[in-house]
Structure 1
Amino acid sequence: MPTQPDAIVVRAPGKLFVAGEYAVVSPGEPSVLIAVDRYLTVSLTRGVDAGSIHSPEYGRMPVRWTHGADGLTLDREHHPYDYVIAAIEVAERLRAERGIEPRFFDLRIDSGLDDPSGRKFGLGSSAAVTVATIAAIDAFYGLGLGLRGRYELAMLATIAVAPNASGGDVAASTYGGWIGYRSPDRDRLRAARAQIGVDAMLGSEVWADTEIVRLEPPAGLDLLVGWTGHPASTERLVSGVSRGTSATGPDQAAFLSASRECVGDLWRALSPAASGDPVEPADDQLALRAIRRNRRLLQHLGERSGVTIETDRLRILCDAAEGIGAAAKPSGAGGGDCGIVLAPADADVAGMLRTWETNDIRHLTIGVHPPEGENNDG
């Protein structure tokens, strides 16, 4: 990607959910995610008179924005860029609260998270662009946010666009590697932003429900990812499940409890020393059982809500994996997109991949983006 010599260039990885989908939308409920080695890149250069946002994905004409008396003034006529604009808005508010003089900048966005044809794999491009934009502006203004500050600012931008987003994808894109994640209370965040401002929120008690911990990859299991070829809308699926279930009913309480138990097992399998036990290799069998149980939970949730979480191709993908002694489940909200597999070293992966190919399921050659430079941050 050509850049000016003084450009600030930041790349953020995509993500995949490993476990805890749907439950993680409730504050404090656990989940497991990985950051993947597919990236979205933001290049920031100093602007003159106005800032701009360019991306080949969103068309040829840039979006124009300026500073106005009431904040950011944006021409939205042709391009929404909702997450990018939300990231700029929250970062500019922090800049203003800290008394830093405003400047203009141009953003160039390039994504490697999607198929060359433009079809989305479901790797979290919205979170990645938010995280990368915040990181670039952090460097531009010298805000000194650190990983936790960048996560919090990106989370505030995210819920300005998608009010019920868990932010697990934001955490994965920020921290890298395998992470355990619990989401904050988004209503509390919105109220605090209006009452005390962005700067006072950073690192404060309003994030009390949030937890982000590093997990160790299962050394004896291989991670494989299959793509069904059918993109899915997370927001639409989560809304559909919410409409089809009672948020306070006994079935939902049972779902959250069961999810908490099986994801908790996965946390323990990937961090056995966390409970004070002697350090031992990750418990691969416990991890496999947890993934299989989480798949069954999502199946039952789909049946109860009337939402197709596990599509026919996702079912084939997962059944083929279980048939060779592996564990598999839809990743994220389901309804299409990707499925993930954890396979023992002696499993017949080649046979599973032949079944995938026969059913037009694409094996994505995806690895895990390594952890970024800070320790557990909860």
Structure 2
Amino acid sequence: MKLLYLGELMLGATSLQRAEAFGRIPGVELIGLATGTGVVGRRISLYNRLRWKLRWPIDDLRLNESLVAAASRERPEVVVVDNSKVIRRDTLATLRRLGVRCLAYYTPDDVMGRHNLSWTLKASLPDWDVFFTTKTFNVAELAAAGVRNVVLMGKAFDADIHRPVSPQEAGPDYERFDLVFAGAFEKERCDSINALAEAGFSVVVYGDAHARWSSGRLHSRATLREPRFAHLYTRALHHGKIALCFLRKLNRDRITQRTMEIAAMGRPMLAEKTDEHDVHFVDGSEYQGFSSNSELIAKAREMLDDDERRAAIGRHALARCRSSGYSSDERALQMIEAIRSNLRSSANAPTVHSLVQV
């Protein structure tokens, strides 16, 4: 199978991890086509931000042209578009004329949220042969919007990047802090971290949107550092005795990619308690759940007071990741099987597959 993959193929991007996993599957010939500039967290112009607010993002990298040119040159059987919001319907029609048999879309976002669903993507929803989402609640929403074949995929970790590291590899800050968090600013997250700092815990935050974390919002006793990516991100998550896992309210998260990454590193995880967290990890033995800031503080204190139990939570989480098939390689195999199933199918009847991978 020749597969043309359009995604952010830069170090630290989960789309690169998915592409590399596809490339390791026997029988898959991968052709990568990058959507970005190669810089994670690159600055976006004011004009582009305004266009995105209006849900009409600009194809400033000419991805539609690049996709057609690559398909003309390579003649792939399958095209996978990873989370681009600018691919037009006429581009998809052209790809079909060029012999592409399966058009697949992957999104890790709450794709039906207004902040994620561009008008261009919304118009194309009925045109995809397979549509992969990681959000359980998006399955029915996508089907109602006309998507013919929705496949629910679980979140994943990259076994090469997300792994336990030694104190020597993590550096002098190994478990220097009580708690560590890496991620974007949200008011609820900041409030929780401030509550921990006020309670006397030491917390380090590796935060994108650095100015939002620092502009008078984050408690003075919390340490703020620039974001880390790929292997540096893994080392950073070892700088706290406990790794915090907050969910993004804007995206209606019930589980997140960070959930899998923290667990795969063998870090003791203190995460917001949800039904989907509880499906993937056992509360109390594979992660520790909390539902309020007071419970967060109490659970953090319990974990810090019991070194043996804290370490066991990390070990059990890592074992669960490995035994339950949460890796990028396992997820890629599941996606390829869904694509192969579509290729084998002679009918094009509307179907919705809810394949909950736990």
TM-score range, shorter chain: under 0.3
- TM-score when scaled to structure 1? 0.23
Quick check: which one's strand share is greater? 1
